[in-house]
Amino acid sequence: MQPTGRLHVGNLEGALRNWVALQNDYHMYCCIVDWHSLTAEFGDPSELKENVFQMAVDFIAAGLDPAKCAIFVQSEVKEHAELHLLFSMLISVPTLTRLPTYRERKDELDSYGFLGYPVLQAADICIYNAHKVPVGKDQEKHIWLANDLAKRFNNLYGPTLVEPEALFTKVPLILGSDRRKMSKSLNNDIAITATEAETAKKIMSFFTDEKKIRKGDPGNPDMCPVFMLHKVYTPEAEEEIAPPCRTGELGCVDCKKRLATNLNANLAALREKRAELVKKRGYVWDVLRDGSERARERARGVMEAVRTAMKISYRDNE
């Protein structure tokens, strides 16, 4: 994840919950990608250190266990940059310009760093010889690129790198207050760090069914972002929320109040743990330091194999 500011419930349900579950079955490397964030934030990186710290707090508060997975900062493992450089020789510019993320923002971000973002992302994966990458379907193209670059490398220099695959897990659809994908840049999100009152206020601002003007009007919960959150945070939402919404018995104000109560209750333990961790700065930085050392150990071995395969380990026979 990029440390570009506060995490929201879309990040929590779309990624972190899955990571917490997967840490019991896989040896995981959970990377805070500070170099990636510079593609948009290079002009003023003064807040990056604090954002890195806050993201680490979010990771641990959500349930990632530093004893089970390596939580670390990308820039503290220089092998990411080395493999990125080597991978950049194996891919054409037209291939990168066809990727959806570049086409969506090319008028806004036109730097070489942004164009090469997916190549660095591929290096982030392959530097650990990762077999599986837990992502949503919207990241499928980037995992394809990592797989393709590993294949190209292996075809040129011999079998060296694992060819990674996406690990798709069921991710709930989380929309923001304006029915678009939840995003802090759109200010349509519910921040994990928000207070209960702030959370309730944000939920009350959500658009619902535009045809349901007042209580008594029948609604369509299937296109309502509030109901989508109910399906995550309200037990038996399909039975308790959807039917009275459709008949008009449940008005939007009451529906939102119920969601606010349930969402705040669900996040209470996370928020409490988070408040404790923020006071333990030394511990959090120690977690990142330890995670970086474990990540470097693995990345160092992969890069040695890469250099050997390419015959650029010049000092081997000194």
Amino acid (one-letter) located at 292: S
Task: Answer for the pair 255, 241: CB distance below 8 angstroms, yes or no.
Answer: yes
Which residues on neighbouring strands pair with residue 165, listed in sequence order?
132
Is the pLDDT score of 173 beyond 80?
no
Domain 194-276 -> CATH class: mainly alpha
Report CA-CA distances (Å) from 90 to 151, 178, 197, 300: 10, 41, 52, 21
Is the pLDDT score of 251 beyond 80?
yes
Prediction pTM value:
0.91
Q: What is the mean pLDDT of residues 187-204?
A: 95
Domain boundaries, the chain: 9-173+281-310, 194-276
Task: Answer for the pair 303, 127: CB distance below 8 angstroms, yes or no.
Answer: yes
What band does 245 get if pLDDT is binned at 50, 70 and 90? very high
3-class state of residue 146 by DSSP: helix
Identify the pLDDT of residue 8: 93
Which residues on neighbouring strands pair with residue 133, listed in sequence order?
166
* pLDDT, tens only, 21-62: 999 999 999 999 999 999 888 888 999 999 999 999 999 999
Q: How much of the chain exceeds pLDDT 90, in percent?
A: 76
- What per-residue string of b and e applies to 173-212 under the rule 16 or more CB within 10 Å gives b? ebbbbeeeebebeeebbbbbbbeeeebbebbeebbbbeeb
Identify the pLDDT of residue 29: 97
Task: Answer for the pair 136, 103: CB distance below 8 angstroms, yes or no.
Answer: no
181 Cβ contact partners less than 8 Å away, ≥ 6 residues apart: 10, 174, 175
289 vs 142: which has the higher pLDDT: 289
Task: Answer for the pair 230, 245: CB distance below 8 angstroms, yes or no.
Answer: no
Is the pLDDT score of 172 beyond 80?
no
Identify the pLDDT of residue 6: 85
Report CA Rg, the chain. Answer: 22
One fold for 9-173+281-310 and 194-276: no
Tell me the C-alpha distance between 318 and 314, whole Å: 8
Question: Of 215, 247, 242, 248, whose CA–CA distance to 226 is shortest?
Answer: 242
Question: E strand or H helix at 165, and its extent?
Answer: strand 165-168
Question: Of 13, 26, 64, whose CA–CA distance to 274 is shortest?
Answer: 64
Q: What is the mean pLDDT of residues 222-244?
A: 92
The arrangement of secondary structure in 9-173+281-310, i.e. its CATH architecture, is 3-Layer(aba) Sandwich (3.40)
What band does 314 get if pLDDT is binned at 50, 70 and 90? confident
Identify the pLDDT of residue 317: 61
Identify the pLDDT of residue 316: 64
Question: The dihedral of CA 293, 297, 302, 306: what is its sign?
Answer: positive
For residues 278, 282, 287 and 290, what is the CA-based torsion angle, rounded to 10 degrees?
A: 170
What band does 318 get if pLDDT is binned at 50, 70 and 90? low
Which tokens in the block code for residue 74?
């990308």
